[in-house]
């Protein structure tokens, strides 16, 4: 039985249906309110606006819950792989072993990119940020696969675009990295798994053998799994809204990459390392920076601490903390930034200011440390996030199209000038 909320406007009562999700989340359906009453709702930043009903990811910030398709993130991080999680997000169920094998083989078959991509890449100056390069190259794939321009094609053809994206984005990422360093691009090695192949394309040099380190592969696999989806965040909402105009999937993903580029979204882990470096340059005095962060008159904040949604703990940070400890231990990396990071972590866990405000190290704190330890340069951090988020963006785009959602088109309350007459330029003062 449908329940209704009542809203009284200008003396008239409007019945607004209540929608309940499978986890008992409740929302008020206002989609007919404007047509019936002339009123719209206003919610800048969409902080309290549900844009869709989605079956992909569930998160509860208060309880520290994150689940993909119902599976707890802790179980997926421990027992699954990124490529299996990608399948789960995109197709809705965990694959059988035959389905997983076919999925991996399909991706491997598409892992090469057209050689002409190198010409496009070489057109970028050495100052180009890798996120800009990646989003441009993602869009450029439409030129190599023009049939993808129409996203209303058969499910089979759309699936081919999905496979191509998963296959080619790691290759494009690695190529943009080697291109920026001025060294020869590495081709995919289809004898390797998805993450190991990606790391080899990134780091193998023509002068020496590249050894796959399973500890590094495992850490990167976990980072990708933990970043694979986070429901209707800024970049995902961007992908859905761009796709809602029936823009093709490559263009929608490129838009997601651009949204993720912002320091308020995908750039936070980079800020963590920059802060650690700044503390070091200032003599390594962590107490001074902690005091600055606690000073209400100082805008400085400890980067990598606190979260808008997770107010008790970030389940992803708990998993990555273990991973960071393992990486630092096994690789034996001993850079001074990591000592500073440990001191900050200790302070946050024991200082009354941080405890009272529930400010724990977040996922960016640990992913920044892990990627730094692995040797990934900080400007590539958001690019790594893009590879991780790719299956989530694809799954959300696919869901939006399969629901045949209308074009995204928010309303506004106009607060500009009222009607006035045009004044010729010579008469303006
Ligand atoms: N360092 C010091 N104090 C902090 C921090 C911090 N990192 N974060 C919040 N606080 C304090 C605030 O000053 C405020 O104190 P007050 O109550 O005395 O005024 C209190 O904690 C609450 O802060 P809000 O800004 O209201 O918390 P909000 O939920 O809006 O912000 C945010 C969350 C933006 C993540 C914030 O904690 C922050 O700026 N953190 C640092 C940046 C960062 O790590 N961002 C990545 C987030 S994770 C992600 O995006 C994947």
Task: Give the pLDDT confidence of 235-286 residue by residue, as tens digits.
Answer: 999 999 999 999 999 999 999 999 999 888 888 888 889 999 999 999 988 9
SS3 351: coil
Quick one: tokens of 39?
């009123």
Which CATH code fits 1-41? 2.20.28
Greatest mean pLDDT among 118-122, 154-158, 399-403 lies in: 399-403
Give the nearest ligand 1 atom to 357 CA.
21
CA of 269 to the centre of ligand 1 (A): 14
| Apex 174 CA angle, 172 and 176, nearest 5 | 65
Give the nearest ligand 1 atom to 305 CA.
7
Q: Do 366 and 324 contact (CB within 8 A), yes or no?
A: yes
Task: Give the pLDDT confidence of 73-103 residue by residue, as tens digits.
Answer: 999 999 999 999 999 999 999 999 999 999 9
CA of 305 to the centre of ligand 1 (A): 7
Ligand 1 pocket test: which of 228, 231, 265, 306 has the largest number of ligand atoms within 8 Å of its C-beta? 306
> What pLDDT score was predicted for residue 292?
93
Asked whether this chain's domains 1-41 and 45-411 adopt the same fold, the reply is: no
**Which member of 227, 229, 230, 307 is catalytic?**
307
Instruction: Report the sign of the C-alpha dihedral through residues 216, 221, 226, 230, in that order.
Output: positive
State the average pLDDT for the chain: 94
Quick one: tokens of 378?
């900080």
Q: How far apart are CA 405 and CA 399, in angstroms?
A: 9
Q: Which residues contact 419 (CB under 8 A, 6 or more apart)?
A: none
Q: Is the pLDDT of residue 121 over 80?
A: yes
> What pLDDT score was predicted for residue 270?
86
> What pLDDT score was predicted for residue 153?
78
CA of 241 to the centre of ligand 1 (A): 28
Contact residues of ligand 1, CB 6 A cut-off: 268, 293, 296, 301-308, 357, 359, 362-364
> What pLDDT score was predicted for residue 269?
85
Q: Considering the chain, what percentage of its residues have pLDDT values greater than 70?
A: 100
Task: Give the pLDDT confidence of 279-329 residue by residue, as tens digits.
Answer: 999 998 899 999 999 999 999 999 999 888 888 788 999 899 899 989 988
Task: Give the pLDDT confidence of 318-349 residue by residue, as tens digits.
Answer: 899 899 989 988 888 777 888 898 889 888 88
Q: Give the position of tokens 């785009």.
A: 397
Which CATH code fits 45-411? 1.10.580.10
Task: State the average pLDDT over residues 50-63.
Answer: 96
Q: Is the pLDDT of residue 182 over 90?
A: no
> What pLDDT score was predicted for residue 383?
95
Q: Sketch the domain layout of the chain as residue ranges.
A: 1-41, 45-411
Residue 403 known to be catalytic: no
Task: Give the pLDDT confidence of 372-408 residue by residue, as tens digits.
Answer: 999 999 999 999 999 999 999 999 999 999 999 999 9
Residues in a beta bridge with 4: 17
Residue 246 known to be catalytic: no
Q: Is the pLDDT of residue 151 over 80?
A: no
> What pLDDT score was predicted for residue 238?
98
Q: How far apart are CA 291 and CA 233, in angstroms?
A: 32
Q: Regarding beta strands 65-68 and 57-60, do their DSSP bridges make them parallel or antiparallel, or are they unpaired?
A: antiparallel
Give the nearest ligand 1 atom to 272 CA.
44
CA of 306 to the centre of ligand 1 (A): 5
Closest CA to 51 of 419, 405, 429: 405
**Which residue owns the Cα nearest ligand 1 atom 13?**
296
In the β-sheet with 65-68, what is the strand arrangement from edge to edge?
57-60, 65-68, 71-72
């Amino acid at each position: 039985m449908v329940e209704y909320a009542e809203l009284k406007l200008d003396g008239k009562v409007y019945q607004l249906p209540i929608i309940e999700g499978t986890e008992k989340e409740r929302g008020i359906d206002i989609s007919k309110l404007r047509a019936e009453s002339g009123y719209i709702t206003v919610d800048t930043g969409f902080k309290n606006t549900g844009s869709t009903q989605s079956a992909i990811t569930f998160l509860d910030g208060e309880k520290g819950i994150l689940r993909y398709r119902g599976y707890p993130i802790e179980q997926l991080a421990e027992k699954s792989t990124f490529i299996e999680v990608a399948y789960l997000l995109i197709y809705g169920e965990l694959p059988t072993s035959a389905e997983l094998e076919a999925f991996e083989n399909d991706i491997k078959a598409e892992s090469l990119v057209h050689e002409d991509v190198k010409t496009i890449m070489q057109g970028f100056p050495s100052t180009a940020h890798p996120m800009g390069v990646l989003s441009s190259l993602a869009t450029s794939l439409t030129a190599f696969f023009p049939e993808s321009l129409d996203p209303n094609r058969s499910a089979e053809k759309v699936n081919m675009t999905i496979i191509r994206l998963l296959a080619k984005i790691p290759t494009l990422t690695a190529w943009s990295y080697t291109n920026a360093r001025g060294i020869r691009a590495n081709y995919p090695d289809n004898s390797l798994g998805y993450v190991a192949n990606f790391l080899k394309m990134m780091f193998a040099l023509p002068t020496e053998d590249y050894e796959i380190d399973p500890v590094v592969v495992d850490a990167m696999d976990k980072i990708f799994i933990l970043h694979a989806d986070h429901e209707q965040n800024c970049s995902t909402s961007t992908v859905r809204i761009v796709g809602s105009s029936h823009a093709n999937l490559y263009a929608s993903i490129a838009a997601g990459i651009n949204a993720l580029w912002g320091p308020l979204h995908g750039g936070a882990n980079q800020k963590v390392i920059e802060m650690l470096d700044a503390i070091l340059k200032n003599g390594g005095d962590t107490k001074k920076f902690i005091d600055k962060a606690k000073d209400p008159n100082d805008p400085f904040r400890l980067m990598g601490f606190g979260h808008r949604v997770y107010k008790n703990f970030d389940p992803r940070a708990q998993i990555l903390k273990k991973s960071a400890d393992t990486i630092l231990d096994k690789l034996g990396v001993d850079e001074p930034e990591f000592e500073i990071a440990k001191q900050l972590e200790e302070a946050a866990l024991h200082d009354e200011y941080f405890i009272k405000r529930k400010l724990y190290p977040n996922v960016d704190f640990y992913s920044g440390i892990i990627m730094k330890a692995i040797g990934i340069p900080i400007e590539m951090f958001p690019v790594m996030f893009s590879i991780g988020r790719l299956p989530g963006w694809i799954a959300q785009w696919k869901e939006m199209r399969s629901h045949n959602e209308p074009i995204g088109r928010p309303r506004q309350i106009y607060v500009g000038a009222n009607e006035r007459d045009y004044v010729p330029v010579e008469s303006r003062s």
